[in-house]
Amino acid sequence: MEYTFREIENRWQKRWELYKIFKADNHSKKPKYYVLDMFPYPSGAGLHVGHPLGYIASDIYTRYKRSENYNVLHPIGFDAFGLPSEQYAIQTGQHPSLTTKVNIQRYKKQLKRLGLSFDWSREVCTSDPDYYRWTQWIFLQLYNSWYDISLKRARPINELISIFEKEGNLVIRSPEENRNKFTAKEWNSFPLSRKEEILQKYRLAFRSETTVNWCPHLGTVLANDEVIEGKSERGGYPVYQKKTIQWSIRITSYADRLLQGLENIDWPESIKEAQKQWIGKSFGLNLFFFVIDNPGTYIEIFTPRPETIFGVSFIVLAPEHELWEKITIKKQINEVKTYVEESKKRNDRERLTHATSGVFTGAYVAHPFTNERIPVYISDYVLNSYGTGAIMAVPAHNTRDHMFAKKYGLKIIEVISGGKDVYKKAYDIKKGECIHSDFLNGLSAEEALKKSIEKIEEKGLGYRTVNYRFRNAVFSRQRYWGEPIPIYYKKGVPFGIPEKKLPLLLPIVDKYMTTQEGKPPLGRATHWAWYEKKQKIVSNKLIDEKTIFPLETSTMPGWAGSSWYFLRYMNTDNDNSPIDTTSSSYWKNVDLYVGGKEHSTGHLIYSRFLHKFLKDFGWVSTEEPFKKLLNQGMVLEHSAMITRIEGTQRFISSGLIRNQEKTQQFYVDIHLLKNGDELDIDKFKKYHPEFSKAEFSIESGKFFCKRKIEKMSKSKFNVRNPDDIYEKYGADTLRIHEMFLGPLNQTKLWNTRGIKGAHQFLKKFWRLFHSRESFYVEESSPSIKELKILHCTIKKIREDIPNFSFNTSISALMIATNKLSEIQCKSRKILEPLVILLAPFAPHISEELWHRLNHKDFICFVPMPKCEKQYITDNIIEYPITFNGKLRFKMNFPIGTPQKFIKKEVLRHPETKKYLQGKKIKNTIIIQNKIINIVV
RNA sequence: GCCCAAAUGGCGUAAUGGGUAGACGCGCUGGACUCAAAAUCCAGUGGUCAUUGUGACCGUGCGGGUUCGAAUCCCGCUUUGGGCACCA
């Protein structure tokens, strides 16, 4: 009887949906388990074969957990705000919500077709007002909070205000600068605007001046990863640095907790390492250098290597460092001024190329121990935002200092032995013995580090500090398709929209582009003013700065909505708050999170941050959002590129490209190729009407593309669609095939060659339950041999699933199927447990067979069979007999045979004599129940 | 430059508290069934040499080492992929 997968899969998908069997219950006596996939961005291209990799894996685990009697929450939703829809809107004028809706419909259809056991009743979509209402709410909570470093948690801003009213900021500790101290009396006398200015330095969502990537041609601000070599990724238009006031989130307040939290979560080491690096905590010392001839003036520097203090030969300030005005000598003032001014104009990338540029201030500082005169320079290579914006340069042991010293002819003093020739190359390894270092001489670098810190602190020349590379996150985007920031301004002072009035809906605009004056798209809205008394949105024309005020025109970044969605799934129907504590205290946090490595620093850090913030206010009970993290590997595919002579309509076949002409390369969709690397020119022209008149330089009658193996991605035009596969072979086959491709976390090149094997396996499995034309199983007792096959498989599967080793579980199922087919096993007592084992991997065929075995329940909830040892232990051990580690023959002995007897028997064996060939036996090693090695 | 991961047949891969390398699948070769095809089944399949059967030697990126025994452990490289990068 034929395996009619289309009909079978259709039937069970319908039944699962009809009976809502994957709906998770918020009130259950069963233990909870929360399995989550990183939710997809619904792009116009639909799912490609790389996406399901993680979804199938998490689904297998979900189904396994259900069968183990867990109450499993396995939801899905869509991260729908974002660039591509907006870009499409700019081009076509169609509202992005329409595009998004269509795309989501397509994704849902594709996901459902895979038989993934999601609880669809909890679906969320970040661009849905019912959802982004709470994203905006969270923003307001951040805005109305500050971080108390003594208590190590966020607190309401009102509490800070009352502290200020009672004691000013004289006592309070906050991570942001506290330099301008004020008393309670002073605070109370400040005008509102001054108060707010101060509060901005404490709020967790705050406004500050930052640099953005501005692309005038696209009329948008771009994220760093959308800028490649100073040009926009899309279209290659120039990008400029522009300074503007932006909303930021004070994520750095949580740096230590984000670092500490990594200790207790089960994540891949590489991701934890990436986050540690990203946070970049470094311990060191802030050290004072007093300026000569300028009493009371000192430069405070940061260094993690105080043991090199005797190697200092100059000091460098960042161009933004304020001190230069005070210390620069008259003769140098013009030169310094020019340098500082020009440096301000340079963006980060240009600064990089100016790494060795600099200017002498004419000032000198005194070395804290030797009193030697040390010159002070200003250079682009020192960043104002890290440490103190000033460094002590030790050219012998720091490469950049070395380059600078060489250029300006400054001294190079070797203080750590071990380098070859520090005049030629800096020795920046922290190993060696201190030399030319007074009281540190003879100590190892490690010992000297301790000693130098002690001595410096003792003498009051500096103090221990901690620095982070981690930066606060810029939060505003000058775009349309995102959550509006719920803020209005009274004479420039920001105020939050009342929580009850959320969501602040995206306004209607005529175009989705930035205005000509460079205002964000929301600046086009005609009704975008806040009538404070009546608490409603009114026409901009009514703005009077008394009762009606302008609204913020920036929107939120993609990560705003995607950093807390895992909490919303716990109670999607709650209209009173984003999370209700009853359900969040039941579901707690995500037990297993599956997704791509590319989110290792962005999404995963923002989510951890927001989760911690919400914990500070009691909305969640756990410190970390994701207990265990699993990365599915990328799927690669050959992409194709064609080359065009710049500025022309002439394309050149890959073999004909010469270096003389300036050329440009474009991706072409791999579906426009034929016979491997050849471009189907007719198809290409049809697909790209703009090139219908283009010329093609061909070689031997054909036009060849350049090929490259890259991550499968819409932007690289190398995506393969799963639709064709499940159309031809079914979802179960696709599931088996994708899991059989190799270990889950490994990068793999997509191939469809193996798919036939997966399909053949399922057909063979199906035949186990059939005899000629009909379903057939026997009720007789199974043989020992059959039981052994079954229980070995149970053992393997039960070991493999918790290890996410699905490729080997499938191979175990294949082995069992082959063996049972061979001995023509038809026993229900064998086949029934076998279907249960297959069910998490290929759920449709398993449900069908389960049903045909006369069961009325769903196989999804049937417990996995248990392995019974008696069936798998052998009485006889087949010992491999090796000579010097090389296998020669095998011998059988009953289990537990004494070694002496084994040795005697092995040495007596005629084969042994043959392999000895008169040589003497040096040693005989017998490993009980395993192996025998004879050393000759 | 720094950090992380990986390297095994024609291909995807399996075997790591050191113990029979190549399970399972694809592909390929030959055969059975068929008028034929598809489907299915059976046999073979790391390399070299030799062979009637049997067999011998070499083989897990490269070079060393530890061990009775190494794909697995240690030291030194090479290559590929990923992340970070004026962070003092």
Q: What is the CATH number of the domain that holds A922?
A: 3.10.20.590
Residues A829 and A693 in one domain: no
Whole-angstrom Cα distance, residue A119 to residue A356? 58
Distances (CA, A) of A793 to A47, A788, A806, A808, A868: 33, 8, 13, 11, 11
Would strands A673-674 and A678-679 be described as parallel, antiparallel, or unpaired? antiparallel
Residue A780: count of CB within 10 angstroms of its CB? 10
Cβ of A880 near strand B (under 7 Å)? The reply is yes
Which pLDDT score is estimated for A143? Answer: 97
Has residue A472 been placed in a domain? Answer: no
Would strands A282-290 and A314-317 be described as parallel, antiparallel, or unpaired? unpaired
DSSP state at residue A506: P
User: Which helix (H) or strand (E) segment is A711 a member of?
Assistant: strand A706-711
Residues A334 and A421 in one domain: yes
Nearest Cα to Cα of residue A887 among A879, A895, A877, A899: A879
Query: Among the three residues A819, A845, A871, which one is the final residue of a domain in this structure?
Result: A871
Query: Is there a contact between A389 and A303 (Cβ–Cβ < 8 Å)?
Result: no
Whole-angstrom Cα distance, residue A82 to residue A60? 30
Residues A398 and A438 in one domain: yes
Give the angle A197-A198-A199 at the CA atoms, nearest 5°.
Answer: 95
Cβ of A96 near strand B (under 7 Å)? The reply is no
Query: Is there a contact between A602 and A555 (Cβ–Cβ < 8 Å)?
Result: no
Instruction: Using the structure, give the distance in angstroms from the CA atom of A879 to the C1' atom of B74, rounded to a whole number.
Output: 30
Residues A785 and A926 in one domain: no
Query: Is there a contact between A597 and A631 (Cβ–Cβ < 8 Å)?
Result: yes
Distances (CA, A) of A450 to A343, A454, A642, A775: 37, 6, 59, 78
Give the tokens for residue A599: 């989110």
Which nucleotide is at minimal CA–C1' distance from A709?
A: B81
A90 Cβ partners below 8 Å, 6+ apart?
A: A219, A511, A512, A513
E-strand stretches of A828-885:
876-883
Whole-angstrom Cα distance, residue A712 to residue A635? 6
Query: Is there a contact between A122 and A571 (Cβ–Cβ < 8 Å)?
Result: no
* Strand B, CB < 7 A, residues 374-413 of A: 380-383, 385-391, 393-394, 398, 400-401
* Strand B, CB < 7 A, residues 282-311 of A: 282, 284, 301-305
Residues A58 and A89 in one domain: yes
Total domains in chain A come to 6
Has residue A216 been placed in a domain? Answer: no
Residues A646 and A749 in one domain: no
Has residue A227 been placed in a domain? Answer: no
Has residue A380 been placed in a domain? Answer: yes
Q: What is the CATH number of the domain that holds A384?
A: 3.90.740.10
Which pLDDT score is estimated for A505? Answer: 96
Has residue A175 been placed in a domain? Answer: no
φ/ψ of residue A74, rounded to 5: -135, 80
DSSP state at residue A769: T
Give the tokens for residue A351: 């600064």
DSSP state at residue A223: -
Which pLDDT score is estimated for A897? Answer: 82
Has residue A246 been placed in a domain? Answer: no
Residues A85 and A108 in one domain: yes
Q: Residue A674's beta-bridge partner residues?
A: A678
* A178-215 residues labelled b (16+ CB within 10 A) or e (exposed): eeeebeeeebeeeeeeebbebbbbbbbbbbeebebbbb
Residues A814 and A846 in one domain: yes
DSSP state at residue A778: B
Residues A450 and A490 in one domain: no
Nearest Cα to Cα of residue A169 among A148, A154, A151: A148
Dihedral over Cα of A696, A698, A702, A706: its sign: negative
Below-70 pLDDT ranges, chain A = 174-179, 219-220, 222-236, 347-355, 659-660, 917-918
Query: Among the three residues A847, A871, A895, which one is the final residue of a domain in this structure?
Result: A871
Which pLDDT score is estimated for A577? Answer: 94
Would strands A493-496 and A359-366 be described as parallel, antiparallel, or unpaired? unpaired
Residues A650 and A536 in one domain: no
Which nucleotide is at minimal CA–C1' distance from A748?
A: B12
Instruction: Using the structure, give the distance in angstroms from the CA atom of A886 to the C1' atom of B48, rounded to a whole number.
Output: 19
Query: Is there a contact between A733 and A657 (Cβ–Cβ < 8 Å)?
Result: no
Instruction: Using the structure, give the distance in angstroms from the CA atom of A799 to the C1' atom of B62, rounded to a whole number.
Output: 36
Instruction: Using the structure, give the distance in angstroms from the CA atom of A782 to the C1' atom of B33, rounded to a whole number.
Output: 31
Residue A117 lies in domain? 31-126+558-631
Nearest Cα to Cα of residue A378 among A354, A402, A349, A395: A354
Cβ of A228 near strand B (under 7 Å)? The reply is no
Has residue A742 been placed in a domain? Answer: yes
Has residue A131 been placed in a domain? Answer: no
Residues A547 and A652 in one domain: no
Q: Is A714 annotated as a binding residue?
A: yes
Whole-angstrom Cα distance, residue A895 to residue A914? 27
Chain-centroid distance of CA A919 in Å reads 61
Query: Is there a contact between A840 and A67 (Cβ–Cβ < 8 Å)?
Result: yes
Cβ of A822 near strand B (under 7 Å)? The reply is yes
Query: Is there a contact between A730 and A679 (Cβ–Cβ < 8 Å)?
Result: no
Q: What is the CATH number of the domain that holds A575?
A: 3.40.50.620
* Strand B, CB < 7 A, residues 739-758 of A: 740-743, 746-749, 751, 753-754, 756-758
Cβ of A783 near strand B (under 7 Å)? The reply is no
Query: Among the three residues A436, A467, A498, which one is the final residue of a domain in this structure?
Result: A467
Instruction: Using the structure, give the distance in angstroms from the CA atom of A430 to the C1' atom of B76, rounded to a whole number.
Output: 21
Give the tokens for residue A286: 């802030």
In SS3 terms, A532-544 reads as CCCCEEECHHHCC
Which pLDDT score is estimated for A710? Answer: 80
Residues A314 and A412 in one domain: yes
ipTM reported for the complex, 2 dp: 0.93
Whole-angstrom Cα distance, residue A537 to residue A546? 15
- Contact positions of strand B to protein Cβ (< 7 A): 3-5, 11-15, 19-21, 23-27, 39-42, 56-57, 68-70, 81-84, 86-88
